[in-house]
Amino acid sequence: MPKVLLDWFYVGVFAVVGTLLAVLPLVVVWLLAPRVDLPQKTITYESGVIPFGQAWAQFNVRYYLFALVFVVFDVEVIYLYPWAVVFRQLGAVAFVEMLMFLLILLVGLAYAWRKGALEWV
- The secondary structure of residue 51, as a DSSP letter, is P
Applying CB under 8 A, what is the total number of residues that bind other proteins?
70
Cα–Cα distance, 95 to 101 (Å, whole number): 10
Under the binding rule (CB under 8 A), the answer on residue 101 touching other proteins is no
Among 2, 44, 58, 114, binds other proteins (CB under 8 A): 44
Among 2, 49, 59, 114, binds other proteins (CB under 8 A): 59
For residue 14, the surrounding DSSP H or E stretch is helix 3-32
Closest CA to 79 of 100, 60, 101: 101
Under the binding rule (CB under 8 A), the answer on residue 100 touching other proteins is no
Under the binding rule (CB under 8 A), the answer on residue 111 touching other proteins is no
